[in-house]
Chain A
């Protein structure tokens, strides 16, 4: 099948798995990272105007597609980094096999459930009013994507991205109940980077995630919410580069 892959910069490789907001290579933090690394970012099928393959039903399909991609690219000692839903996919991949990776970075990632059945661990982004969703997702609301200022084509991509996002995350919502029983297999250095004001998945959720991965560390970035890489690109790049250079 066709898979769109963005490559940017040169140097040691970072396999970047974007979140439900779509590809992240357009943001300034990516330029910073691309000064020292090669960013390899597959576009999840269904995002950025790409089609959803007929057999795709959920995140498992994405995970196995990327296992193929990792073999195909013959990655070695790469850094695996995922954002939000992409962080979930990255954690799943690392729990299967870390042989091709040197480090794992999870940014405001979903993927586990930490509370009981009546606890809403992860904001229901598909059933939350736009204004409230912005407040949960952004420290600075002016950074949020604004449908009113989009062209028709951009708006249609925005709508398609939501469909793909729903496909990968609908039920169980944004998590795999089995993942907590598998995270112990991750045997490479792992860093969680979290926006201090994230209302989609809070830093407390991030700490629970961290505690399930042996030896994982966490950096909380102030004045940022669900997208610290967008809201605080310098602080984000600094946290990443420090971890990567260790």
Chain B
């Protein structure tokens, strides 16, 4: 299992959250202190460089008009990391190509980073979260169609080497496409796309790209990964390889449970600080009507709150892997088997006020004591055995992680 270290580059020094409406979109940037920002940006780069030195891969993303992620132009950060790191693959997950008006610019930036890093780029394309709509001023209706049209244009820009070609689509227009440079990797860098529904997963599978899922946990992972696997089998007549699927979770490893708990509580800032005003969470055209209607109504009485930010809840749901190395391995293994397997773990290992030292300690424990076992686990993957394990386990909303740890024998 390839593991990608990930932090959102938060600016966590916020006023009391009852003094503002939303951490996304309209929180005034007077609350951003550029001097502190400089410290944070450099710390985050140092953390990524440490991940590189420890043998982890690197993932970054971008958001706009939010303190939860102050990377508004991830390709710039990628450019820095292309120089500052030596071995790690560099994943951007991803370029919000539905909201950006110039796919060609994305193709150019990515080709440049691929060349500069001598072929270490993994390039993700995303639709983006609903609160990205207002900052981008982009109407989200038919977002999936726009994503694939921009994708097709970028792919051709990367792989066409005989002078200008024409593109006049429904959403994007470019009549003389001939990018310089072209990518370092041939025919193009690995492509990742995030998946939010079984239908969208099948579309990713049809193109053989890597499908990534964020924090879907036990309640959502099978539907998404199965959607991918079925789509892959249908389109290509063979089983999807393990390395086509990725799962993103919050990961914290401690020497003991207490240390891990302290670190994870800090990481959960990522979930707890995501105070989003309803008008930014539900822009028209982003969600299908039924989903939008549910958001307007709010949770029904007795309905479980899926955003419940308590550590135990998030752990039980498979959004957080946290504990001693043994415990974390067992949690990931259990989720991996339940999901039917995946080849990439996207590890959110820093968030909120977690310091450089705390982050590196967890990262080091992960790298030395968990990672080798995860690599063994995926190396032992057998599609037939996995199917048996999977079918022996009913669908669940959550698991008792305490029970997992006690069952662990090694």
Contact = CB atoms under 8 A, between A and B. Distances in A.
Contacts, number: 56
Contact of B293 (A129, A156, A166, A170): A156
A137 to B, nearest CB: 14
B279 A128 contact: yes
A171 interface: yes
Given A126-B279, A127-B134, A163 B284 contact: yes
Nearest to B280: A127
Contacts of A102: none
Interface in A94-138: 126-130
Nearest to A147: B296
B83 to A, nearest CB: 38
A167 interface: yes
Contact of A155 (B137, B277, B293): B293
A217 interface: no
Given A127-B25, A155-B296, A171-B137, A163 B279 contact: no
B278 A130 contact: yes
Contacts of B181: none
A184 to B, nearest CB: 30
A148 B297 CA distance: 7
Contact of B277 (A129, A152, A159, A162): A129
A45 to B, nearest CB: 13
Contacts of A148: 297
Contact of B290 (A127, A156, A171): A156
Contacts of B25: 127
Interface in B284-308: 284-285, 287, 289-290, 292-293, 296-297
A160 B289 contact: yes
Given A127-B280, A129-B279, A130-B278, A163 B292 contact: yes
A68 to B, nearest CB: 22
B296 A163 contact: no
B278 A171 contact: no
Contact of B292 (A129, A152, A159): A159
Interface in B246-295: 277-280, 283-285, 287, 289-290, 292-293
A100 B25 CA distance: 46
A117 B30 CA distance: 23
Nearest to B139: A170
Interface string B324-363: 0000000000000000000000000000000000000000
A151 B38 CA distance: 51
A155 B287 CA distance: 14
B141 interface: yes
A237 B290 CA distance: 36
Looking at A126, A130, A159, A167, which has the most chain B CB atoms within 10 Å of its CB?
A: A159
A136 to B, nearest CB: 13
Contact of B141 (A157, A158, A159, A166): A166
B279 A165 contact: no
B21 interface: yes
Interface in B363-396: none
Given A130-B279, A158-B293, 18 more contacts: A126-B134, A126-B283, A127-B280, A128-B279, A129-B277, A129-B278, A147-B296, A147-B297, A155-B297, A159-B289, A159-B290, A159-B292, A160-B289, A162-B284, A162-B292, A163-B285, A167-B141, A170-B139
23 contacts: A126-B134, A126-B284, A127-B279, A127-B280, A127-B283, A128-B279, A129-B277, A129-B278, A130-B279, A147-B296, A147-B297, A148-B297, A152-B293, A155-B297, A157-B289, A158-B293, A158-B296, A162-B292, A163-B284, A163-B292, A165-B284, A167-B284, A167-B285
Interface of B: 21, 25, 134, 137, 139, 141, 277-280, 283-285, 287, 289-290, 292-293, 296-297
